[in-house]
Amino acid sequence: MKRYAINLPLFILTQIGWWTSAFLSYKQISTGNFCPELFNISTAYLSLAIFTLIFISFFLKKLASQLLFYLPAWLGLFMAYWFSCLQFTDQTPFIMHCPQFFNLPTCYLSLGLLVVMLIVKIISDKRH
């Protein structure tokens, strides 16, 4: 059986993102109106898919791993940035705001987490 060299800090950050997204997806299923939507799909579900793809990238060969990490990570970064910007539009009635976690919108937390993950991955790739 082949052993995979896993970047432990990146793996832990991915797990934090995945479990948080799983919790938000559960809340979305429970309430039906918990997270904002992008193209009529809850951002909780999109975040869960993004972190799942990033998790799968740990177990693939180099090129597939790179693609399956960077494409979802950049998409997630764009999505988190978009909804972070929308947090400033308090007076717009049709925009649903991100749920709060420790008094911070989850889109801010996702944005920060994905930025750190991308920095760690880029540094790790340059070393190898």
User: Residue 65 has which token pair?
Assistant: 């791993």
Give percent of the chain with pLDDT exceeding 70.
89
Chain position carrying tokens 């938000």:
24
Model confidence pLDDT, tens digit, residues 48-96 = 999 999 999 988 888 888 899 999 999 999 999 988 888 777 655 556 6
> Taking a C-beta distance cutoff of 8 angstroms, is the pair 44, 36 a contact?
no
Model confidence pLDDT, tens digit, residues 33-60 = 778 888 888 888 999 999 999 999 988 8
pLDDT in the model for residue 93: 55
Domain extent listing, the chain: 8-127
3 state DSSP class of 38? strand
Model confidence pLDDT, tens digit, residues 14-31 = 999 999 999 999 988 998
pLDDT in the model for residue 40: 84
